[in-house]
Chains A and B, each alone.
Chain A
Amino acid sequence: MILGIAPKFDDATEYSFKWFQELVKEVQSISTEKWVLLEKDDATRESVEAEFDKWHPEIITFYDHGNEDGLVEQGGHGYVIDLANVSKFKGKAIYTMACLSAKTLGVEHWRNGGVFWGYTEVFSFTLQDEELFMRCANAGLIARMKGATWDEALEIAKREFDRAIEEAEEVWTKVWLRHDRDALVCYTATNPPQSKCRFRRALLRLFGTRFGWTAKSRFAGILMMFFGLGVLVHDYAHTMYELGGYGEILSPQGGYVGLGIFLLGFYLREKGIYFKRFKKLDGRRLGG
């Protein structure tokens, strides 16, 4: 079962909608896989979540607009899938040509055990050679439906881009095909995302892919902070011991009050951060 989502509300989605229809037609000609289609005004967050709950499709296909945090719904004011609801689709494959979506949303989906096919940069195409771009954008799912693994499908799609670059006559078509080809990624269990962050890369090397990508930088910061605090408390207790032995350590000290205030302040701050985070995500859900 494939859940196909295709809004149509501006110039660019006129094209992506056409490409999506071609994709559906082509997949139907080579496979018996059933489609649930949410097109134009049906391409909304509510419909996507409802149809997903009803059918539990293995693949979710989305054409077209997106950004780092989400895939844009009909009308362009909200998202069908974003960081707030992507965990709902855990373990499933998301196939999209939405711009930039592989940057953050794709990584988050992959962290949840899913496959993400998408682009790390803006997807561009020339209108006079749109068929070449359509062929390349659709190549991955078609290859997958023909029996290739996702990793193999990525290689096939990249080769399709190379062929299209050779075939194209207009120089800007060649430039954009190359740009799109290099922005295309498919995150799978065997092909994890690459990070530009040095600390993340160190974590990945030290602890492996799963933990390296799951660990948040804030978690590492808190861990380091408490380790440092532990060293400080140990040093303080040692000084107390030298002054008056264990009795001195156990007696009420001003330092302990300071430590208590510090921990209370930390607790209140963390509570505030969580509160703000949920509020922000909720706001994004409502307003896009």
Chain B
Amino acid sequence: MGEKEIVRAIEEYFKQHPDLRWSFGKMVLNGHDTIKMMKKDKAFRKTLVEAVVKYSIEQLVKGDVNNGGV
């Protein structure tokens, strides 16, 4: 799965959860703003993708340790 697919999956998630809001440093964003920011801000998009990938890897590794394989 490449960056494009991850970005698309994130977009899809926000379309399904429009009420989700978060604070990213100074900005407080809703789903719509997040998608907009991902399109225009490369550093923001990179952080988001990295955060998702790192979390996923951690879960996979954890699953591997606890369940003897994913």
Contact = CB atoms under 8 A, between A and B. Distances in A.
Contacts of B13: 171-172
A178 B58 contact: yes
B23 A182 contact: no
A158 B1 CA distance: 30
Contact of A172 (B20, B25, B27, B28): B20
Contact of A15 (B20, B23, B27): B23
Q: Which of B22, B23, B54, B55 has the most CB of A within 10 A?
A: B23
B51 A11 contact: no
Nearest to A127: B21
Contact of B20 (A12, A121, A128): A128
Contact of B55 (A123, A170, A179): A179
Contacts of B24: 122, 124
Contacts of B21: 126-128
Contacts of A12: 23, 25-28
Contact of A170 (B20, B23, B47, B52): B20
A127 B47 contact: no
A15 B20 CA distance: 16
Interface in A121-173: 121-128, 170-172
Contacts of B20: 126, 128, 170, 172
A65 interface: yes
A170 B14 CA distance: 12
Interface residues of A, number: 24
Interface in A54-68: 65
A224 interface: no
Given A11-B23, A15-B23, A122 B54 contact: no
A263 interface: no
A176 interface: yes
Q: Which of B13, B21, B24 has the most CB of A within 10 A?
A: B24
Interface in B28-70: 28, 47, 51-52, 54-55, 58
Contacts of B23: 11-12, 15, 124-125, 127
Contacts of B54: 178-179, 182
A75 to B, nearest CB: 13
B19 to A, nearest CB: 8
A103 interface: no
A123 B25 contact: yes
Given A10-B26, A127-B23, A172-B20, 15 more contacts: A11-B23, A12-B27, A15-B23, A99-B25, A122-B25, A124-B22, A124-B23, A125-B23, A126-B20, A126-B22, A127-B21, A128-B21, A171-B13, A175-B51, A179-B54
Interface of A: 10-12, 15, 65, 76, 99, 121-128, 170-172, 174-176, 178-179, 182
